[in-house]
DNA sequence: AGCACGCCGACT
DNA sequence: GTCGGCGTGCTC
């Protein structure tokens, strides 16, 4: 069942159903008192339960399995590894349209006449049913303006005034395209001639018929829409031709997303790519997982495409994973250029219907689903025959899902998936995660390096600018040092483009009182509200709270409320003053609103309509701009001082990735990093792009402070509306865990946002030493969890476990 | 998770 | 007195 319960549920089936059903088919079953749910057949057996009587199933929903055995195995691994219910994985895997749920519908009993038997509320419902043939329970609640309506509904049923039924609605709507063909009466030539004569007076209709014949020469089915536009007639004209039995309409089910265009042969690899390629092939003979460490702009994608082509030629499917934000039109187009319609994209932005179609195409192993280019959740698609998985930007933290359960890491789950298919998996990155690099060094993974940029473009020159010094010498203008301004001017003089990065942290647009410094807070969460300029209101990021922008400060009453814009907005303003003759663009949550907002800015920048683009990290993912020669990082320090054991690793990755945007063409690019701390080891390592040094140093620290990749982490989060409850709960839990794991338990701590949606939050982290068994540790934690939940006071506290919580 | 059931405080 | 809030237990 698609619910967070550990057990499976047993239903009884008839002989006929028994013979028909297969694992992985969906069945509608009654679950609980009334509800119909979508369950998935997990096992078919003949051991009738003794302690209870199994219910019959309601209906079989599929005629062949929707989920295959590889997936069922994979789900079990995820549920077991990430400590969640199989139902959680089930729910996360399937597009929601596949998970039908019933709704209770109320109907009037036509034979009922004793209206005067009814109480006021009962009569209200009965009367509503005179006007509307059916009501949902929700509608009933609305009519009565009450929350508890079931007693009243039940009373009405007892009096035989109404009856109820559980209805399931199909959510997936196939897209049907209307086509036109000639009615069967008119297939002979004679009839056709007389037809045109008949239409001599109906001019438009005649045109429509003639156009139809013209279009028919291509022997392809003719869409009604196409006929209308080509013949320049309205749909009414076609309709009347159908009414006259001259044409007839028919419908064909079509996919919502289809590729149209040509494909091209693969580019030949340069000698360095070729070398890396053959090394990967070589490692694949010994290892199933290989890490490709290829510097930015080294042409990793071409290597991937060559590997993909080979797997396709072998008749196998390919999964190409990318972080959500890197799944841009640019990369999609680039792959479609080679593989055309063999690629399907899978995205969280896809509609439910689109996802269903991709799912079905993968399930049926259709031509158009040979390569799946997808984000995190595409690991759940029903692959039957995977030959290769590519995980690009392997280091990206967005591969980890945090909320809701299952809290899986798609890269790691993909490695397991590849094992199940006996497929190969390639992890690629210019800045590998420490854990993957470590695995490669330990010889667990194959390892291939590509350290030459494509077209032999040099790595950019990276310069650290000491902002403290600049301030002292009064060489700062707002956020800019004179040196950075000079570099910008030089680039602009050469008609080149510039990207400037501003870290997002601490720069969301909030409102603050100038008199007392108080910022309006969310009433449900422990955060300041953010200001949304376009609607002039205040909103909370964590819950859906919103309110109009107040006129005066709620704390001191003065009307000195000041709106602080995005950090990027401030930078943009400064730039407009400093470079009035150039076009300045800005990319942040504010300007990328709307469906095409993002694409519009990127498009304008690509078309060189924008000279300087200011943005957050979102700019650095999955985009190539060939005219950018300067990249500036305005404040490197915020990243370095972040309290997280991975802060330094991430800062390195982010800065190197961002630097990679500079000088993708012939000319060597420049990167300028402004910092208060130019001697920070990470900045030094960034400035020389010295990954190995960063790796060694960070690894040393991880060992010293007992962090991954040496130690594993399990994070436990407790949530409850009552602060004291969480607090005493978390202290109890800490003591219990400490008794088992001693100093390897950290906490308890409150997260940066310690209350969300009126739920107080506390964390505890358990570190698992290299030699300690993960399975045993999980069992011990599970035991402690059981004891915890046996305490009456703690039972209502939400207990969340997150394995590899980083 | 969702839902029914039952207990308890707070309003007409 | 009713209504809604919330803890409790259960789902084949
Ligand atoms: Zn909030
Ligand atoms: Zn104030």
Q: What is the 3-state secondary structure (H, E, C) of A145-163?
A: CCCCCHHHHHHHHHCCCEE
Straight-line distance from CA A793 to C1' B11, in Å?
Answer: 29
pLDDT digits (tens, 9 = 90+) for A526-579: 999 988 877 888 988 888 788 899 989 988 988 888 887 777 888 898 999 999
Instruction: Give me ligand 2 centre to Cα A551, in Å.
Output: 11
Strand C–CB A54 distance below 7 A:
yes
| Spacing of A147 CA from C9 C1' in Å | 22
DSSP-derived pairing of the beta strands A480-481 and A476-477: antiparallel
Structure tokens that stand for A571 in this block? 């930078």
What are A190's two structure tokens?
Answer: 């004679």
Cβ–Cβ < 8 Å for A540, A527: yes
| Statement: the CB of A32 is under 7 Å from strand C | yes
Residue A542 CA: which ligand is closest?
Answer: 1
Distance CA A238, CA A248 (A): 9
Determine contact, residues A291/A439, Cβ cutoff 8 Å: yes
Q: Which two tokens stand for residue A482?
A: 């004179």
CB count in 10 Å sphere of residue A236: 10
CB contact set of A285 (below 8 Å; sequence gap of 6+): none
Give ion ligand 2 contacts, CB < 5 A: A 513, 515-516, 518, 553, 555-556
d(CA A576, CA A170): 54
Tell me the CA–C1' distance in angstroms for A720 and B8.
Answer: 21
**A580: Cβ under 7 Å from strand B?**
no
* Cβ contact A201 with chain B strand, < 7 A: no
Regions in chain A scoring below 50 on pLDDT? 506
- CA of A69 vs C1' of C12, distance in Å? 23
pTM over 0.80: yes
Using alpha carbons only, how large is chain A's radius of gyration in Å? 32
Measured CA to C1', what is the nucleotide nearest A101? Answer: B2
Residue (of A303, A180, A351) closest to A250 by Cα position? A180
Please check whether strand C approaches the CB of A580 to within 7 Å. no
| A4 CB contact with strand B at below 7 Å | yes
Ligand 1 center to residue A521 CA distance, Å? 8
pLDDT of residue A119: 86
| Number of the ligand closest to the Cα of A520 | 2
Q: Is the CB of residue A45 inside 7 Å of nucleic acid strand C?
A: no
Distance from the alpha carbon of residue A557 to the mean position of ligand 1, in angstroms: 23
Which residue, among A543, A541, A524, has the nearest Cα to A532 in the 3D structure?
A541
Strands A537-539 and A670-675: unpaired
Q: What average pLDDT does chain A have?
A: 92
Q: Which nucleotides of B are covered by protein (CB under 7 A)?
A: 1-5
pLDDT score, position A506: 46
Backbone φ and ψ of A298, nearest 5°: -90, -5
In angstroms, the CA of A540 and the C1' of B10 are apart by 31
Residues 93-152 of A with CB within 7 A of strand B? 150
What per-residue confidence (pLDDT) applies to A504? 63
**CA(A540)–C1'(B8) in Å?**
34
Gap from A139 CA to C5 C1', Å: 22
Instruction: Give the separation between CA A285 and CA A279, rounded to whole angstroms.
Output: 10
Q: What is the DSSP string of A639-708?
A: HHT-SSTTHHHHHHHHHHHHHTTS--SSSPPEEEEEES-TT-HHHHHHHTT-HHHHHHHHHHHHHHTT-T
Ligand that lies nearest to the alpha carbon of residue A544, given by its number in the listed order? 1
Q: Which residues pair with A134 in a beta bridge?
A: A107
Residue nearest to nucleotide B4 (CA to C1'): A33
Residue recorded with tokens 């703690």 = A794
A448 Cα–ligand 2 center, Å: 59
Backbone φ, ψ for residue A363 (5° rounding): -55, -45
pLDDT recorded at residue A505? 52
Is A529 buried (19+), middle (13-18) or exposed (0-12) by CB count in 10 A? buried
**Tens digit of each residue's pLDDT (9 = 90 or more) over A58-88:** 999 999 999 999 999 999 999 999 999 999 9
Give the 3-state secondary structure of residue A759. Answer: strand
- Which residues of A contribute to the annotated binding site? 513, 516, 522, 525, 540, 543, 553, 556
Residue A740 CB in 7 A reach of strand C = no
pLDDT number for residue A690: 95
Q: Strand C closer than 7 Å to the CB of A147?
A: yes
Beta partners for residue A612, in sequence order: A498, A584
CA A149 – C1' B3 distance (Å)? 13
Tell me the backbone φ, ψ of residue A782, rounded to 5 degrees: -60, -40
A499 near A625, Cβ under 8 Å? Answer: yes
Residue A149 CA and nucleotide B12 C1' are separated, in Å, by 19
Ligand nearest to the CA of A515: 2
CA A481 to chain centre: 38
Separation of A572 CA from ligand 2 center, angstroms?
28
- Of A772, A703, A699, the residue nearest A437 (C-alpha): A699
- DSSP-derived 3-state class of residue A802: strand
Q: Contacts by A683-690 with C-beta closer than 8 Å and gap 24+?
A: A683/A464, A683/A636, A683/A640, A683/A655, A684/A464, A685/A652, A686/A462, A686/A651, A686/A652, A686/A655, A686/A656, A686/A659, A687/A462, A687/A463, A687/A464, A688/A462, A689/A295, A689/A459, A689/A462, A689/A656, A689/A659
Beta carbons of A599 and A591 less than 8 angstroms apart: no
Q: From ligand 1's centre to the CA of A753, what distance in Å?
A: 10
Shortest CA distance to A708 belongs to which of A441, A438, A444? A438
**Which 34-53 positions of A have CB less than 7 A from strand B?**
34-35
Which neighbouring-strand residues pair with A374? Answer: A321, A346
């Amino acid at each position: 069942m698609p619910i967070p319960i550990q057990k499976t549920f047993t239903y009884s089936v008839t002989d006929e159903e028994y013979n028909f059903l297969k694992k992985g088919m969906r069945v509608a079953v009654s679950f609980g008192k009334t509800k119909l749910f979508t369950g998935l057949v997990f096992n078919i057996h003949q051991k009738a339960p003794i302690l209870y009587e199994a219910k019959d199933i309601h209906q079989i929903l599929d005629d062949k399995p929707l989920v295959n055995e590889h997936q069922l195995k994979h789900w079990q691994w995820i549920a077991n590894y990430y400590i969640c219910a199989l139902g959680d994985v089930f729910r996360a895997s399937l597009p929601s349209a596949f998970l039908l749920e019933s709704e209770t519908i109320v109907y009037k009993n036509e034979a009922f006449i004793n209206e005067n038997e009814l109480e006021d509320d009962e009569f209200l419902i009965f009367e509503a049913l005179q006007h509307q043939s059916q009501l949902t329970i929700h509608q009933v609640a609305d009519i009565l303006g009450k929350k508890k309506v079931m007693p009243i509904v039940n009373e009405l049923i007892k009096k035989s005034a109404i009856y109820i039924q559980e209805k399931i609605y199909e959510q997936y709507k196939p897209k049907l395209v209307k086509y036109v063909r000639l009615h069967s009466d008119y297939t002979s030539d004679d009839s056709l001639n007389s037809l045109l004569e008949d239409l001599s007076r109906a001019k438009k209709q005649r045109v429509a018929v003639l156009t139809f014949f013209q279009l028919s020469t291509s022997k392809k089915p003719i869409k009604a829409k196409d006929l209308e536009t080509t013949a320049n007639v309205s749909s009414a004209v076609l309709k009347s031709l159908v009414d006259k039995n001259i044409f007839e309409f028919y419908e064909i089910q079509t996919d919502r997303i289809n590729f149209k265009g040509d494909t091209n042969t693969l580019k030949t690899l340069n000698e360095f790519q070729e070398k890396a390629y053959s090394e990967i092939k070589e490692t694949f003979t010994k290892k199933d997982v290989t890490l490709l460490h290829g510097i930015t702009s080294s042409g990793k994608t071409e290597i991937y495409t060559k590997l993909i082509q080979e797997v396709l030629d072998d008749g196998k499917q390919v999964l190409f994973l990318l972080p959500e934000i890197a799944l841009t039109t640019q990369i999609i187009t680039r792959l479609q250029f080679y593989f055309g319609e063999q690629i399907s994209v899978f995205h969280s932005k896809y509609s439910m219907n689109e996802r269903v179609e991709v799912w079905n195409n993968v399930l049926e192993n259709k031509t158009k689903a040979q390569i799946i280019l997808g984000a995190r959740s595409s690991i759940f698609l029903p692959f039957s025959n995977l030959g290769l998985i590519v995980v690009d930007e392997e280091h990206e933290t967005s591969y980890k899902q945090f909320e809701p359960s299952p809290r899986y890491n798609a890269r790691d789950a993909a490695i397991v998936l590849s094992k199940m298919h006996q497929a190969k998996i390639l992890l690629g990155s210019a800045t590998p995660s420490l854990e993957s690099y470590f695995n490669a060094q330990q010889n667990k993974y194959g390892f291939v390096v590509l350290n030459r940029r494509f077209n032999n473009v040099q790595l950019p020159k990276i310069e650290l600018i000491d902002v403290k010094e600049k301030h002292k010498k009064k060489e700062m203008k707002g956020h800019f040092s004179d040196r950075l301004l000079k570099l910008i001017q030089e680039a602009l003089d050469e008609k080149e483009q510039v990207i400037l990065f501003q870290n997002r942290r601490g720069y969301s647009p909030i409102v603050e009182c100038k008199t007392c410094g108080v910022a309006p807070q969310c009433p449900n969460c422990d955060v300041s509200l953010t200001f949304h300029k376009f609607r002039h209101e205040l909103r909370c990021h964590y819950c859906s709270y919103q309110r109009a922008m107040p006129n005066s400060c709620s704390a001191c009453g003065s009307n000195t409320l000041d709106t602080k814009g995005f950090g990027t907005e401030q930078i943009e303003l400064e730039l407009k003053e400093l470079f009035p003759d150039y076009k300045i663009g800005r990319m942040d949550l504010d300007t990328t609103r709307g469906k095409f907002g993002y694409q519009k800015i990127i498009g304008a920048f690509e078309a060189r309509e924008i000279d300087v683009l200011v943005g957050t990290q979102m700019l650095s993912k999955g985009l190539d701009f060939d005219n950018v020669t300067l990249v500036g990082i305005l404040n490197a320090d915020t990243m370095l001082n972040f309290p997280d054991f991975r802060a330094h690793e991430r800062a390195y990755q982010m800065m190197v990735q961002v630097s990679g945007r500079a000088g993708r063409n012939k000319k060597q690019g420049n990167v300028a990093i402004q910092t208060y701390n130019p001697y920070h080891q990470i900045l030094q390592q960034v400035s020389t792009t010295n990954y190995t040094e960063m790796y060694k140093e960070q690894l040393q620290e991880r060992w010293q402070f007992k962090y991954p990749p040496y130690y594993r982490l399990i994070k436990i989060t407790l949530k409850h509306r009552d602060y004291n409850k969480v607090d005493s709960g978390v202290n109890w839990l800490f003591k219990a865990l400490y008794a088992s794991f001693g100093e390897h338990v950290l906490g308890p701590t409150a997260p940066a946002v310690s209350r969300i949606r009126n739920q107080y939050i506390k964390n505890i982290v358990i570190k698992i030493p290299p030699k300690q068994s993960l399975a045993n540790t999980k069992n011990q934690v599970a035991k402690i969890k059981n004891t915890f939940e046996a305490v009456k006071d703690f039972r209502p506290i939400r207990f969340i476990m997150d394995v590899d919580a980083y």
